[in-house]
Structure 1
Amino acid sequence: MSQTFDKISSITFFIIGILFVTEATQISDSAYGSTVGPKTFPLGLGIVLILLSLRLFYETWKQATKLKIVRNTKTPSKTTSIELKKFLILFICAIAYVFFLEIVGYVITTFIFLLIGFQTMERGKTLSSISISVAFSVGIYYVFSVILGGSLPSFPTF
């Protein structure tokens, strides 16, 4: 992607991560005295999002500085139509993921979202995309629902 897009997206994700953390701290603790409460997962996601956005901003800044020193030219800031198409596909899939999560269930929705995401980013390797998507969606559902005792939308009942 372009460095301008990377900088803007890192700042956007940083703000979203801050919002996740602040809203997660306002969720009440578990009433049962469990260490894993309802705010643990959103708080962890917010912290990870903040750290990854800071890393993206640093790497983009470092790459821009390196290119300016080595080539003594401006850094490219044009995004290609293919990159824009991939971004729009992933953005629409993320919106559809949120919409269908409760209706279809976590495992199926996450599997489809990951499969489309993997195939959008890199065509081919269909078998590995399917196996990773299945392993991730079933594994996270098992860990969060069975081991940690949380609740995720299960399979559809229709």
Structure 2
Amino acid sequence: MELDANTVRDRLDRTLRLRKSTGEIAIVILLGVLGLFAAIYSQLNLPLENPFGAGVGPRLFPQVAGITMVAMSVYLLVLRLWRRRKGTIDDEVVEMNVRDGLRVFVFIVLCAGYMWVFEAIGFGVSTVALLFLLFVTNGFRRYILAAVLAIAFTFGIYLVFTTALGLPLPSPILRDVTTGIL
């Protein structure tokens, strides 16, 4: 079966009809699951104290973010149940373009891939690649400018963490290049 380019484009331009409340439930569940994962993962795998002797340990940020996400999820769930009880739930049907849904899916896959390769290839390379791909995925077509922005933003974050906070970021590729292993 051959697919014509116009057929693929027509399929991507279709719209999905969803209830607004369905989207709210999906966000509440996703927020709660991600927050719970961040809190549990950091508790099990990250040290409490900073191995470099400066400030707080690496466990603090993921735990605070995870607990905040779980708290927001519980708050939104209670708010939704309260609205349902009062009969003020908005069951308006919203249309969503399939292309927009695909963009959200690609965003999730890119972020998951970023987390997967972060320690293996390091902060610099993985962050530049993630930012560049996010720019391109969202329709930014000036590729050189996207690359420059991704590099500049990554460098800025690197300076904040290493200089201002005194926390080194993983960079095994850079370390291997500078020590002559590669």
Map of 1:143 onto structure 2: 160
- Does the alignment pair 1:37 with 2:57? yes
Matched residues in 2 for 1:105 and 1:95: separation? Answer: 15
Change (3 A) 1:98 1:24: closer
1:36 Cα shift?
A: 1.2
Q: Does the Cα contact within 8 Å between 1:36 and 1:148 map onto a contact in 2? A: no
Q: Structure 2: where are the runs of 5+ without partners?
A: 1-15, 81-87, 177-181
Matched residues in 2 for 1:155 and 1:6: separation? Answer: 41
SS at match of 1:111: helix
SS at match of 1:5: helix
Count, aligned residues? 148
TM-score by length of 1: 0.65
Matched residues in 1 for 2:95 and 2:165: separation? Answer: 45
Letter of the 1:80 partner, please give it: N
Give the superposed CA RMSD: 3.8
Structure 2 matches for 1:56-67, cutoff 5 A?
none
Q: Deviations over 1:73-127 (max 9, x none)?
A: 9422454220222123223322322333233221111111112113323434656
Matched residues in 1 for 2:122 and 2:33: separation? Answer: 28
Which structure dedicates a bigger proportion of its chain to strand?
2
Change (3 A) 1:23 1:154: closer
Residue from 30, 34, 39 that aligns with 1:12:
30
Larger radius of gyration: 2
Q: Deviations over 1:6-42 (max 9, x none)?
A: 5313321223213423554565432777431121232
Matched residues in 1 for 2:139 and 2:162: separation? Answer: 31
Map of 1:64 onto structure 2: none
Matched residues in 1 for 2:149 and 2:103: separation? Answer: 20
Q: Structure 1: where are the runs of 5+ without partners?
A: 62-68
Q: Does the Cα contact within 8 Å between 1:108 and 1:155 map onto a contact in 2? A: no
